[in-house]
Amino acid sequence: MIRKLSLPLFLLLYSKSWAISIIILSVDSNVSFDLSTVAGFPPPVFPGYYYPTKASGSNPEGIVITATVITIFWQTISRVYIDIKGGHDPSPTVALSQINWTITPAPLPPPGTPYPPPPWQPLVDAWRRVASFVPSGFVTRRRYLMDFCFKAEEDDDPTPPQGITTTVYIRFYGL
């Protein structure tokens, strides 16, 4: 059984070098799933779903993403985008898609649910749109609460004491 899964978050930033706008992305925490400390693990029925055991102080189910656009002189960015993708499968028996995310608050799926229903989305190794917005005024700031859940499956092998990890990439850019 999976005992611990950590998700360090790295940022990829992109902006037009000639633009007179500054775009800033802030992610407030890493996410870990230490299932050895979770009541109700292993689940009575597989698959079982779990929120992170270590996450943001402001969002105990995940992270807080803050996107800021500062416009100097005139509007140079018409729309801002935030995307997410995963790095690799955490282990041979744990697929990247067993980690799910949403920016719309949602309860955990009940045990035995084969796939988390929307708004939950599986983490994959291709860029997926999280959100977009149109900046307005001198400073435009948006906060997004991104929740994560882990789908524990019956074939997940025991993990070493240090756990297993994967990387989550978040990129923020304006066009």
Q: Is the per-residue pLDDT at 5 higher than 70? A: no
pLDDT tens readout for residues 140-170:
999 999 999 999 999 998 777 778 899 999 9
Half-sphere CA count of 138, side-chain side, radius 13 A: 0
Average pLDDT of span 20-45? 89
pLDDT tens readout for residues 48-78:
999 999 999 999 999 999 999 988 777 678 8
Report which of residues 91 and 75 the model is more confident about. Answer: 91
Task: Output the average pLDDT for the chain.
Answer: 87
Q: What percent of the chain shows pLDDT beyond 70?
A: 88
The amino acid present at 21, given as its one-letter code, is: S
